[in-house]
Amino acid sequence: MENYEVALKTGSETVSGADCYQQEGPMTTFFKFGDERTRVDPWSKRVASYRTAEITAIRMVCKFTDKPALQTLEVVA
């Protein structure tokens, strides 16, 4: 499980315990995989959702250093 830092137009939030995220219609949803799973499937649990239009960046935060990982997704409108 990873932590993600979500930069929104109105501030930022941290999503803890998510394995991945994906867009679902107008929302971007963060998921925790089911036991012994490596992808989103019916056993995955939704951890958090945000309106995609409100997100300006998503950064994965390293477990051991609490610093952003090298990859950053910048949303360009």
Residue 4: how many other CB atoms lie within 10 Å: 22
What mean pLDDT comes out for the span 13-26?
93
- More reliable by pLDDT, 13 or 74: 13
Q: How far apart (Å, rounded) are the C-alpha atoms in residues 47 and 53?
A: 19
pLDDT in tens, 32-64: 998 888 888 888 999 999 999 999 999 998 766
Distance in Å from the first CA to the final CA of the chain: 29
The full set of domain ranges for the chain reads: 2-74
**CA atoms within 13 Å, Cβ hemisphere of 54:** 13
Q: Can you give the pTM of this predicted structure?
A: 0.77
Backbone angles phi, psi at 60, to 5 degrees: -85, 130
